[in-house]
């Protein structure tokens, strides 16, 4: 199986034994506490679950600037986006102390992790502007990822962490949430060697379904990992539980048995386009996947990125930066001529009128109005799950 990023084995930061967890929670009673942002809490879940191997915790200013400007840590390891604990709160602890990090997404001031504070550093306005511009390609606060980053604050708390739990993800998504360790173990137990990963924050329509099928066939995959984001999204995106139900319905009806693994991960969407596509590749490599499907406007939002910028960036990084490969997908649509979903680049004899294409906005509008989605766009069983959600709203 493909090796994890920058390591011979996964390096999860979750505390494994009840005894160690109890000891840390006892010690935390006398520690200073700070409530982290949702973005930082999501980073902790990813650190705990092994997805961010080989990172040991939150980056310091030197690493953050190196990642933003050069896509590598100060030690030279490739890394595409900052992993930070930023705050605007008053700091009442010192470098070298251990602090308890409070989860903002769970009631009752639950401690999600213990951090050993390495450095406490200020990012000035120019630093923050530069980081955001390099990572997101824009400083426009209308961009949801940019707005989230600006809102976190300017005080950077770096240092290694011991993660105590996976926030709300195990409880709310028990059937779906999986750590990188669990996914690797499942792949190994199935005897799969060549696995294609599909990233999604949306329900899967027929184009997505066929894209997975095409990619699997073309790289001769043993199986497909459908890996859905379960964390915070922007307003208007379909909730994770509805998406989960729709995807499970599609796989049950339209894929061979035991060919697809349906899993999810606990991260907040960055909407960082090309940079986030690289991050997606890092943690799919850590899951043990050989390929990641990267399609049109992967991890994008609005019109901030070109349709295939997220593919092109893989051609710009060093050839040895990642072990995982990408499957470059073109626009997919239903061909009226061929009565099936195709990648548009594969059918040069088609005109625009030969395709059935629906925008996400049009789909949401139709569902909100109780209209059935065309069979060329969505499987009827999937459309039914989505319509129920919209009619409830």
The Cα–Cα gap between 227 and 250 comes to: 14
DSSP label at 33?
Answer: E
The Cα–Cα gap between 44 and 163 comes to: 7
* Residues 6+ away with beta carbon under 8 Å from 66: 72, 73, 74
* Residues 6+ away with beta carbon under 8 Å from 269: 144, 145, 201, 229, 231, 232, 233, 234, 237, 299
Identify the active-site residue in 202, 213, 296, 364.
Answer: 202
DSSP-derived 3-state class of residue 66: helix
Q: Classify residue 295 as exposed, middle or buried by CB count within 10 Å of its CB (0-12, 13-18, 19+).
A: buried
> Can 202 be counted among the known catalytic residues?
yes
- Number of Cβ within 10 Å of residue 393's Cβ equals 8
The Cα–Cα gap between 18 and 248 comes to: 33
The Cα–Cα gap between 135 and 52 comes to: 17
Helix axes 274-287, 180-190, angle to 10 degrees: 50
Identify the active-site residue in 178, 184, 201, 379.
Answer: 201
The Cα–Cα gap between 337 and 347 comes to: 10
DSSP label at 354?
Answer: G
The residue length of the chain stands at 393
* Residues 6+ away with beta carbon under 8 Å from 322: 5, 78, 278, 281, 282, 285
Output the six-digit token pair for 53: 């191997």
Please say whether the beta carbons of 39 and 152 come within 8 A: yes
Catalytic residue numbers? 201-202
């Amino acid at each position: 199986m493909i090796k994890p990023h920058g390591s011979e084995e996964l390096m999860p930061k979750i505390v494994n034994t009840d005894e160690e967890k109890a000891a840390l929670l006892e010690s935390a009673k006398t520690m200073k506490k700070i409530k982290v942002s949702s973005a930082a809490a999501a980073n902790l879940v990813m650190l705990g679950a092994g997805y961010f191997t080989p990172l040991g915790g939150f980056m310091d200013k030197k690493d953050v600037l190196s990642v933003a400007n050069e896509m590598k840590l100060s030690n030279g390891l490739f890394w595409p986006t900052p992993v930070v604990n930023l705050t605007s709160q008053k700091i009442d602890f010192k470098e070298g102390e251990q602090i308890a990090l409070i989860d903002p997404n769970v009631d009752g001031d639950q401690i999600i992790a213990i951090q050993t504070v390495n450095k406490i550093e200020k990012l000035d306005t120019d630093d923050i502007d530069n980081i955001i511009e390099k990572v997101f390609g824009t400083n426009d606060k209308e961009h949801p990822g940019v707005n989230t980053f600006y809102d976190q604050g300017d005080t950077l708390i770096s240092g290694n962490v011991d993660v105590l739990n996976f926030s709300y993800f195990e409880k709310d998504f028990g059937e779906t949430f999986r750590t990188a360790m669990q996914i690797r173990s499942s792949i190994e137990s199935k005897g799969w060697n060549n696995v294609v990963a599909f990233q999604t924050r949306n329900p899967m329509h027929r184009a997505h379904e066929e894209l997975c099928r095409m990619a699997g066939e073309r790289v001769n995959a043993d199986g497909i990992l459908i890996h859905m984001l379960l964390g915070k999204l922007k307003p208007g995106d379909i909730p994770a539980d509805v998406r989960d139900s729709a995807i499970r319905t599609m796989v049950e009806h339209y894929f061979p048995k035991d060919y697809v693994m349906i899993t999810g991960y606990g991260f907040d969407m960055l909407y960082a386009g090309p940079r986030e596509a690289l991050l997606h590749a890092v943690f799919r490599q850590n899951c043990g996947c050989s390929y990641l499907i990267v399609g049109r406007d992967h991890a994008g939002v609005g019109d901030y990125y070109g349709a295939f910028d997220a593919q092109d960036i893989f051609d710009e990084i060093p050839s040895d930066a990642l072990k995982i490969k990408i499957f470059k997908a073109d626009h997919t649509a239903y061909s009226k001529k061929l009565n099936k979903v195709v990648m548009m680049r594969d059918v040069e004899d088609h005109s625009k009128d030969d395709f059935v294409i629906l925008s996400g906005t049009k789909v949401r509008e139709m569902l909100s109005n109780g209209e059935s989605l065309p069979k060329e766009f969505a499987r009827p069983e999937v459309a039914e799950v989505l319509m129920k959600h919209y009619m409830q709203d």
